[in-house]
């Protein structure tokens, strides 16, 4: 079964230089080029960690943030890449405590 995820990528600097690198060196990887160019959002991109780590190794001073939201209602995450390393963070959905003064 295929699983679609909506991706969004952000970079803290060198945005155009990184897009040029991805387009010139990874043109065969439609998922990577689509996400880095903002062309596609819902994809089956099972190799996203490996692909973004490789780009991150080429630009070790740039923080690349990849946010994903899968088909399942609680599948939301953010992955930070810098210098080929990755930190993975899953969304935590919380509710405010009951406060009677908030009743309207």
- Averaged confidence pLDDT in the chain: 92
CA distance 15 to 34: 14
91/27: higher pLDDT: 91
Mind listing the pLDDT tens digit for each residue in 51-102? 999 999 999 999 999 999 999 888 999 999 999 999 999 999 899 999 999 9
The domain segmentation of the chain, as residue ranges, is 5-102
- Report the 3 state secondary structure along 28-91: CCHHHHHHHHCCCCEECCCCHHHHHHHHHHHCCCCCEEEEEEECCCCCEEEEEEECCEEEEEEC
pLDDT tier at 1 (50, 70, 90 boundaries)?
Answer: low
């Amino acid at each position: 079964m295929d699983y679609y995820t909506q991706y969004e990528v952000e970079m803290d600097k060198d945005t155009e230089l990184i897009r040029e690198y991805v387009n010139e060196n990874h043109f065969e990887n439609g998922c990577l080029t689509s996400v880095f160019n903002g062309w596609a959002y819902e994809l089956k991109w099972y190799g996203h960690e490996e692909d973004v780590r490789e780009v991150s190794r080429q630009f070790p001073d740039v923080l690349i943030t990849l946010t994903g939201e899968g088909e399942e209602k609680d599948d939301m995450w953010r992955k930070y890449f810098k210098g080929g390393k990755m930190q993975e963070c899953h969304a935590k959905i919380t509710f405010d405590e009951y406060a009677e003064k908030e009743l309207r």
